[in-house]
Structure 1
Amino acid sequence: MTRVDVRDVDSLSAVSSVFPAGATRCGIYVLHFADGYEYVGQARNVLTRFRTHVRTWAHPIVALDFAPVPAQELDVTERRVIQGKEREGARLRNSALVGLPRGEAAADVVVARAAQEEWLNGVDVRADVSARCREVAGRDRSARNFRTLAERPYYDLLLDVLAAYVRQVIPAPDHTEQRFWCVTAMPSTGRTAAWQRVAAITVNNVETLVIGETTENGRVHLDGFLNVAPGLRLPSSLDVETDEYRTVGEVQRIQSEAAFLEFAVHHPLVRDAARITAMGLLRKGTSMMGRYHCTPLADDLFARIQWEDRSR
């Protein structure tokens, strides 16, 4: 691998200077962080991917290793490099939430790896959900939890928040729905006298967005939280806490009023952190939560996405 020291120079210019005109930028890379951790990845254009990494990781990147590899050999080579690093005892940042599993994944059948990389690089690829929206004709909307939720006075605001998250964060949401991610209505988890979940989006088997209603002095308002992987850069103005899930470990949790969460997922740092987290979870496989997916709520969510895209 070719090593590029980016500690004291403009990182993108330093990396660009390594590649002669016409040189391939497709290959395997290793990021070296100031805290001693490393991250192994693959890219068809390492410059574009590196730019995203500089923007999204909270810890400074001090060096980059790169080796050109043909596109058809990226998966197997990435797997070998990670295994070699693990044997050496390297501290890898390819963690439970942000690490893309080695080699091929079930999600590759639904979303091509090139499209996944484009999504991670921050490209705003609008999903055509019109076919998904046409599926709703004659759908049963009588499920008790959904009816209860749809009658809430804040249901329209809730749809805005859910649609913004799915639209900004989940790649090909109409094709990955239920199998890889799901949305639930009025889940009972964590209910107290003053707060209850009203909707949650789960990617793989991890809650990534939870919206609840808080009751104070007889008044009800919507709030919630957004979970992203640790170590990713987030705006300092946000209320960010650290929490832990038994299955995946530590997460960064953004807590706020629901309307602000809708606004937050449009911020590039929040969007990128959420995308990296969701993509890592998608690539870990299908969700065991699919049986709890609320299809009529998803119908309304996709209708809101289609309406907003047509309004732009």
Structure 2
Amino acid sequence: MNTLRFKRWNFTSDLAPSAVLSLKNECGIYVLEFSNGEQYVGQTIHFPIRLAKHRRTYPDIIAINFAEVPEDNLNMAEYSEIQRRRRSGILLRNKTLLAQPLGDSPLDDLIDQQEQAAWLDVAATDDEEIHIGGRAEVARGRTLSNKKFDQLQQQPSFEEAINSLAAYVAYVIPYPHLTEKKTWTVTAMPSTNRTSTDKRVATLSVNNVEMMYLRLVRDYENGDWTPLTILNVADTYQAPPYMRDYVYSHSYRSAGPVKVVSIMGDFLIKELLMDDAILLAARELALGQMRKGTTMFSKYHNEALSDAIFKRIDQWIDDNSGLY
């Protein structure tokens, strides 16, 4: 591939992109330069929007570079530029798939490896990265009858549960319409570990590991049911002081050690994923499990609930509201 022709601007993270950039074509490859000499290579179809999010993540940007590239060529151009700069000895902040299960994966047939690697780099809650194909149209075109889903709809916390599940599917699972039932599944009102004072509302699993589940816990004195959010993320997550009371370590046979975020009071997956560190740790764990192959839980997948999830994501996209 031909060497890209970049235009360079001096830039600091306290500047608004509009104060520096004036682009006719915002689609292309960009390079961020940092004060310690490191760089970051990325692709985007809307560079000013992407830069606005990066400047909140990286306070030490000193310059930006941008080269126009057609959308169809972005993946190869980004890959080539990353390799070119690495060969020249430049230290890049880009994450790769090196932390994921090595070798080929069935997931590579659905999602290109570079797309998977980019999923670990993309700015948190970047709506342009959500791809659900025509899955919402499929959901709107049918009405599925399901006893478990009907029970879920009767719960007073139904809307919050759908928001939490939709946020996870949209922002943690890459191309969820391609990987549904293959690498991830969702269940409604599962009987797992149910007692008279503790019941699950919904569980989302990737491969064969529960990534998140929503519970209702009953108070012994007044009998009220209180929502409880459980979110598993990669063990690399380092909780800041204000989160340490809500995070503990756990281990799964197939996933190894993880960090568990547990918060009582509401279903808060949507709010938790606003935190860049939590979102990226959730993606790291989920992608690692997706690369291990297909799930054994396909027969338990609740398509009525999944339809509701994709319709909610599509609503966010149409309203341009996302997580915010």
TM-score, with length taken from structure 2: 0.67
**Structure 1 residues 260, 24: closer, same or farther in 2, change over 3 A?**
closer
Matches of 2:242 and 2:317, distance apart in 1: 29
The structure 2 residue matched to 1:49, chosen from 82, 89, 94, is 94
3-state SS, counterpart of residue 259 of structure 1 = coil
Q: 1:291 aligns with which of 292, 299, 308?
A: 299
Task: Tell me which amino acid in the other structure corresponds to 1:111.
Answer: I
Q: Read off the aligned partner of 1:203 and give its amino acid letter.
A: V
**What do residues 114-143 of structure 1 show as CA deviations (whole Å, max 9, x unaligned)?**
211111002434334361012135645322
Q: Residues 14, 220 of structure 1: CA spacing in aligned structure 2 closer, same or farther, 3 A cutoff?
A: same
Q: Is the 8 A contact 1:26 1:46 kept in 2?
A: no
Residue of structure 2 in register with 1:218 after alignment = 223
Report Cα offsets for 1:12-54 as digits up to 9, x if no partner: 72445xxxxxx96428x9xxxxxxxxxxxxxxx961415xx9x
In structure 1, the partner of 2:287 is 279
Structure 1 SS opposite 2:236: coil
Q: Does 1:121 align with 2:121?
A: yes
The match for 2:181 among 178, 203, 206 is 178
> Following the alignment from structure 2 to structure 1, what is the Cα–Cα distance between the partners of residues 82 and 102?
20
Residue 202 of structure 2 aligns to a residue whose secondary structure is: strand
5+ unaligned residues in a row in structure 2: which ranges? Answer: 1-32, 40-79
For 2:259, what is the secondary structure of its paired residue?
strand
Asked whether the equivalents of residues 228 and 263 of structure 2 are also in contact (C-alpha less than 8 Å), the reply is yes
Instruction: Please list, as runs of the form range in 1=range in 2, the aligned pairs for 1:10-21 lying within 5 A after superposition.
Output: 13-15=36-38
Write out aligned runs for 1:127-276 (5 A).
127-129=130-132, 131-136=134-139, 139=142, 141-216=144-219, 217-238=222-243, 239-257=246-264, 258-276=266-284
Structure 1 CA distance, aligned partners of 2:102 and 2:253? 22
TM-aligned CA deviation for residue 160 of structure 1: 0.7
Note the alpha carbon deviations across 1:139-160, whole angstroms, 9 max, x for none: 4532221111112121111101
Shift of 1:287: 0.7
Letter in 2 for 1:110: L
Change (3 A) 1:176 1:155: same
CA contact (8 A) 2:201 2:214 kept: yes
Compare relative contact order (CA 8 Å, sep 6+) and give the higher one, 1 or 2: 1
SS of 1:162 mapped into structure 2: helix
**1:120–1:272 Cα contact (<8 Å) kept:** yes
Shift of 1:218: 1.9
Residues in 2 aligned to 1:204 and 1:133: alpha-carbon distance in whole angstroms: 23
Q: Secondary structure at the match of 1:184?
A: strand
Structure 1 residues 46 and 101, CA gap change in structure 2 (3 angstroms) = farther
RMSD of aligned Cα (Å): 2.8
Mapped to 2, the partners of 1:287 and 1:296 lie a distance apart of 19
- Summarize the Cα distance change of 1:148–1:46 in structure 2 as closer, same or farther, 3 Å threshold: farther
Alignment CA distance shift 1:206-1:12 (3 Å): farther
Q: Distance in 1 between matches of 2:300 and 2:267?
A: 25
Q: Does 1:26 align with 2:83?
A: yes
Q: What's the % identity of the aligned pairs?
A: 31
Question: What is the letter of the counterpart of residue 216 of structure 2?
Answer: E
Q: 2:241, 2:294 → 1: CA distance?
A: 33
Give the direction of change, closer, same or farther, for the CA distance of 1:168–1:235 in structure 2 (3 Å limit): farther
What is aligned with 2:104? 104
2: CA distance, partners of 1:137 / 1:270: 31
- 1:234 touches 1:273 (CA, 8 Å); kept in 2? no
Structure 2 letter corresponding to 1:229: A
Deviates more, 1:143-152 or 1:174-183: 143-152
Separation in 2, partners of 1:205, 1:139: 28
Residue 175 of structure 1: CA displacement? 0.9
Change (3 A) 1:12 1:210: farther
Contact 1:25 1:46 in 2 (8 A): no
CA contact (8 A) 1:265 1:271 kept: yes
